[in-house]
Structure 1
């Protein structure tokens, strides 16, 4: 009987050791999927599906976040509500992190140069607005279009802008599937606006890297009609509201993005 108890305890320990957390599975799969990727290189279709399947099954509890955390208590301020970032891991191939946005929290329109990005809304309701460049041409310097109807609220001098097409403009409520954006498609420039307390799990491959030219660039949008450019005409069946001119800007004043310790299940990096 004593021997049976000893064997039983050993078996339980083995089973516990074999159980792998959801976030460890995510890390292990990212290590495989992004192994042969680099800037501008999209993972294989099979790899993308593997990552999507894992992300679609992950909940806030799997990474130790929930809506009653103090990060979501909003203090009334004149600027953007503070957003918290939990860093899980990063290597030269990918990074994993969680953004915690209180109600009305905004991650302004920004880009993901040469990256494939997976985003999973863990809880809450969020509005996502995303754009892709219309073509590969560089920014152009132009002035606002003439207007005799007073539709422009302010004078705009020469501005460097680039034409983008609206890809996503919708509300999303968890539980929902992970979204994917690619280096040149899927809404590479996007803006998150939290309608309730929200947590977003992000996987970036490769991560931002200033020395390699992958820095986070912010943008201001201008309606298509605001600028007149001779060679930028829309097809007759396209609506102007589905297009915007994007102007590069500095990090918006008042945007507060702070780091905090990640206290969820640990990742064993290999």
Structure 2
């Protein structure tokens, strides 16, 4: 009986060891998928599908967040409801975090330089507007804003996404030059978004978060520019993006992540 009891305990211990949380599986997969990647380097198709499959199956329960958390009741200050960021992990290759947006919370239009980004809406309804740069923008005149507005140059972009998303829904992916690299999130209800960035932002390496203001295409375009839009496409699908400083009143507050723990690897 003594040997049987020991054997049963060993089985239970092995079963506990084999049980891997969804967030741990996400982290482990990221270490593999992003291992040979870097700035501007997109994971291979198999790696992208692996991460998509994991994220598509994840819910708020897997990361310990819920709509009734106090973060969703923060008062509006300076025009923007405060947004909370839960940091899960970060290394040279990737970062994982969760944005908690109260109703009407906005992450203004911003970029993800040289990054591949996976975003999973865990709960809530969110409007997403996203743009990509127009590669052949040189074919169209590049206007300058009036000096009273700073005289900053602007760049032509094409609208890629302009829609509302409600959880449960699949993860979205944006790439360094495609898929809506510049995007804006507007929370219609309380929302939680799980983000995987590869590689993460890094100011010393030039991957800093740049914000933009949009200008309607016709407002700044020359008379002949309309004729240069590809046939069959709408003028409303294009806009001029002007670089701006971080919007005043935008407040993203860091908070402690209290969901299932991630056991990080010391090196890749």
TM > 0.5: yes
Alignment match, 1:132: 132
Maintained 8 Å contact 1:134/1:164: yes
227-236 or 77-86: which moved more? 227-236
Aligned to 1:62: 62
SS where residue 214 of structure 1 aligns?
A: coil
Deviating more after overlay: 196-205 vs 67-76:
67-76
Q: Structure 1 stretch 4-13 or stretch 119-128: which is displaced more?
A: 4-13
Q: Does 1:218 align with 2:211?
A: yes
Post-superposition shift, 1:13?
A: 1.5
> 1:127-166 maps to which residues of 2 (within 5 A)?
127-135=127-135, 140-143=142-145, 158-166=151-159
**Structure 2: 5+ residue runs without aligned partners?**
none
**Which residue in 2 is equivalent to 1:50?**
50
What residue is the counterpart of 2:193 in the other structure? 200
Within a 5 Å distance, the mapping from 1:108-127 to structure 2 comes to 108-127=108-127
Q: Distance in 2 between matches of 1:231 and 1:119?
A: 39
Q: Distance in 1 between matches of 2:121 and 2:44?
A: 23
1:118 and 1:76 map into 2 onto residues whose CA distance is 28
Matched, 1:240 2:230: no
> How has the CA–CA distance of structure 1 residues 248 and 29 changed in structure 2, closer, same or farther, with 3 Å as cutoff?
same
Corresponding position: 1:26 with 2:19:
no
CA contact (8 A) 2:56 2:170 kept: yes
SS of the aligned residue for 1:53 comes to: helix
Q: Deviations over 1:113-151 (max 9, x none)?
A: 00000000001000000000011668944257xxxxxxx
In the aligned structure 1, how far is the partner of 2:79 from the partner of 2:231? Answer: 40
* TM alignment of 1:32-43, pairs within 5 A: 32-43=32-43
Aligned twin of 2:247: 252
Q: Distance in 2 between matches of 1:248 and 1:175?
A: 33
Aligned to 1:147: none
Structure 2 match to 1:151: none
Instruction: Write the distance in 2 (CA, Å) between the matches of 1:22 and 1:31.
Output: 14
- Equivalent residue of 2:81, what SS? coil
What secondary structure does 2:80 align onto? coil
Aligned residues: 260
Q: Are the aligned partners of 2:143 and 2:221 in contact in 1 as well (CA < 8 Å)?
A: no
Counterpart in 2 of 1:16?
16
Aligned partner of residue 142 in structure 1, secondary structure: coil
Distance 1:229 1:189 in 2: 24
Equivalent residue number for residue 171 of structure 1? 164
User: What are structure 1's unaligned runs of at least 5 residues?
Assistant: 145-154
SS of corresponding position for 1:200 = strand
Q: For each residue in 1:171-217, what CA deviation from the matched residue of structure 2 results, as whole angstroms up to 9, or x when unmatched? A: 00001000000000000000000000100000000000001100000
Output the TM-score relative to the length of structure 1: 0.91
Larger relative helix fraction: 2
Q: Confirm or deny: 8 A CA contact 1:89 1:96 kept in the other structure.
A: yes
Q: How does 1:75-86 map to 2 (within 5 A)?
A: 75-86=75-86
| TM-score under structure 2 length normalisation | 0.92
Tell me how far 1:157 sits from its aligned partner: 7.4
